[in-house]
Amino acid sequence: MTVRMKDIARDLGISPMAVSKALRNHKDIGEATKARVRKRAAELNYRMDWVARSMVTGRTYLVGLVVPDLMQSFFAEIAAALTAALSPAGYHLLISHSSENATDEAANIDLLESRKVDGLIIASAQRSAKALKSLKTPYVLIDRRVPGLKANYVGTENEDIGFLATRHLIEQGCRRIAHLKGPVLSTAEGRLKGYRRALEKHGLKVQSDLVLDAGHDDASGYQAMQRLLSRKVRPDGIFCFNDPVAVGAMRAILEAGLSIPRDIALIGVANMHSSDMFRVPLSTIDQGTAAMGEQAANLLLASMAAKKPLAPRQLILPPRLIVRASSRRQAAGN
């Protein structure tokens, strides 16, 4: 049925081992024989059985990707960047999603390990190091840090994100700045911390009632913003956990008949594709998503190539403020 090395070997009157070595261009085999093997392999349309090879070499050339939700364009972009960076090295990406559920995530990781992936890239929903610290497979955390876990990590400094965004709103003249906070994770906590630091640094009061849990998507951002608007006193600036939340907030604000940025200035995080084409073009903090994916891939490649586990490395990429109309209140140029 399918062609095996032994078929080539029989045809050529040599041993299967010689075929195996020839195809891997091993130096034990003479050039003449290698040529014959390659020729016959091509004729028979031979294709390596990677499963069999994996069994004996212990390497699958598979990398598992665990994300909360591929639908979020941030993670889709990560996945794309990873594929691009890993495939030249012969790796394939195996995806699975955790739906923000730590237990599901752990089960997924287990499964991926039993599939013998050579490495893992994880945007983790874990709140503790427990499930991850026993991992034997090399891995890289991406975007989200896990408390108490010293591991390879690539991400942005979330506190800087919060600080940058909030300071920008302050500079635009906002004085009552609210924060639509994300789910409880290192990411959300860092951004909140940065938000607080910026307020304090500029002598503004940190009011806990101006921080609302807003989930991480469009719909929950909309709801949170509605709650905020129903109060007697309105905020004049909103720092949103991410762009989808900001889009939801935008919807709520515009529906309420208010103007962005005149009544309320708005800024998100992530630089979603096309967010410059929104009804009010959305200011945001760019995390360098593609670069993050690429760096994570490189870090993982290095870890997988090493014989002994390497010392974990942390790569922190600098966030970048992108000012668009949703937060531009000063008549400043451009």
Can you give the binding site for a second copy, defined by CB under 8 A?
Answer: 47-52, 54-55, 60, 62, 69-71, 73, 76-77, 79-80, 83-84, 87, 92-97, 110-116, 218, 244, 247, 250-251, 272-274, 277-281
Any idea which residue has 């598979």 for tokens?
Answer: 62
CB 206 within 8 A of CB 181: no
Q: What is the DSSP letter of 10?
A: H
- Work out how close the CB of 168 gets to a second copy at its nearest, in angstroms, rounded to a whole number: 21
In Å, how far are 20, 37, 127, 285 from 44, measured between CA atoms? 15, 11, 53, 54
CB 200 within 8 A of CB 168: no
Q: Does residue 48 interact with DNA by CB under 7 A?
A: yes
8 Å CB contact between 140 and 165: no
Task: Report, in Å, the least distance between residue 199 CB and a second copy.
Answer: 28
Under a CB-based contact definition with an 8 Å cutoff, are residues 324 and 285 in contact? no
**Looking at beta carbons only, is 53 or 313 nearer to DNA?**
53
Please pick, from the candidates 10, 43, 52, 147, the single residue that binds DNA as defined by CB under 7 A.
52
- 315: partner contacted, choices DNA, a second copy, none (Cβ within 5-8 A by kind): none
Our CB check for DNA shows the closer of 14 and 212 to be 14
- Is there binding between residue 56 and DNA (CB under 7 A)? yes
CA 269 to chain centre: 14
The Cα-based distances of 290 to 71, 155, 201 in angstroms read 16, 11, 32
Q: Does 127 bind DNA (CB under 7 A)?
A: no
Encoded one letter per residue, x for contact with DNA by CB under 7 A and - for no contact, window 4-43 reads xxx------xxxxxx-xx-xx---xxx-xx----------
Q: Can you tell me the distance from the alpha carbon of 15 to that of 2, in angstroms, rounded to the nearest whole number?
A: 18
Q: Site residues (CB under 7 A) for DNA?
A: 2, 4-6, 13-18, 20-21, 23-24, 28-30, 32-33, 48-49, 52-53, 55-57
